Copies of this chain bind each other. A is one copy, B any other.
Amino acid sequence: MARIVCQQIAPRVASLEFNRRLSLNAIEAAVRDRADIIVLPELATSGYSFETAPEAASVAIDVADPLLGEWAAAARYGDAVVIGGFCERGHDGRLYNSAVVVDGSGVLGVYRKVHLWDREKLWFTAGDYPPRVFETRHGRIGVLVCYDLEFPEMPRTLALAGAELIAVPTNWPLSDRPAGERAPEVINAMAAARVNRVFVACCDRAGTERGQEWTGGTSIIDESGWVLSSHEGVGEARAVVDLARAHDKSLTRLADVMADRRPELYGAVTATAGA
């Protein structure tokens, strides 16, 4: 069984030192809470609402930065795995909206968001590598960042590659929705979990940043698509899950969400004139 904790924190834009302490405290608190898998928001080290590319660059760090080493050191106390977003300066000097996976041994790897949202395109370079599944001490974890999850090909790709859990650091801008409805991004995450029979842990952020409000839609979702835990405002969502259940893709003795796929027919649609 794995204990997942999502830390819905409120980073401060362009304040690396503030966010270093904030993210480290969040990891330490989750470790004290006996978390095995800890998810932090998108761009947890940098904040989100940049006004210029130089401002984003001012809080970019590379994957060898001591800050991520501090995350690893904090994870080591609890034998935890941490997935969190950061503003990455690549070896090519470009900025990426990335998520890192660390455990007590250090950085396991980095995923660079491939679908940049809106004004992110003004300062970030989109990742050019497919989504990845990381073999961790607590399970096979696929990583997506925010808007990536709106492309159903992405969770599908990860599920086909054996992901048990998809961890999604995110910053969901608050949007209007009908009364009584869940945030649309959560509805979409529930569907992604269900159709792929994988667990999904979305860690959103809290706070208001330069007038931007956030959905605060942090949700841990089981492999049937139901929300096990969520949280409003700053704080934790927590759930204990058996990630091995994601290996069973069957729905009945004669139905299986993966074996029933017909990939030879996908994308091959023909528009047909009527009568």
A53 CB to closest chain B CB, in angstroms? Answer: 14
The reply to whether A255 and B118 form a contact with Cβ atoms under 8 Å apart is yes
The reply to whether A133 and B275 form a contact with Cβ atoms under 8 Å apart is no
Residues of B within 8 A of A162 (CB): 271
Known: A108-B274, A184-B225, A191-B187. A115 touches B153 (CB 8 A): no
Encoded as 1 (CB less than 8 Å from any B CB) or 0, chain A from 262 to 275 comes to 11011111111111
Known: A130-B270, A194-B188. A260 touches B157 (CB 8 A): no
Of B103, B131, B226, the contact of A269 (CB 8 Å cutoff)? B131
From A126, A255, A263, residue with most partner B Cβ within 10 Å: A255
A181 within 8 A of B: yes
Residues of B within 8 A of A108 (CB): 272, 274-275
Known: A162-B271, A191-B191, A272-B133. A181 touches B266 (CB 8 A): no
Encoded as 1 (CB less than 8 Å from any B CB) or 0, chain A from 183 to 204 comes to 0100110111011000000000
Encoded as 1 (CB less than 8 Å from any B CB) or 0, chain A from 242 to 261 comes to 00000000011111010011
- Inter-chain CA distance A272–B122, complex, in Å, is 30
Q: List CB contacts (< 8 Å) of A20-50 with chain B.
A: none
22 CB contacts below 8 A, A to B, read A106-B275, A118-B252, A118-B253, A119-B254, A130-B268, A130-B269, A132-B272, A133-B269, A133-B272, A134-B274, A135-B271, A135-B272, A136-B274, A147-B260, A151-B195, A151-B260, A152-B153, A153-B156, A158-B269, A181-B226, A184-B224, A188-B191
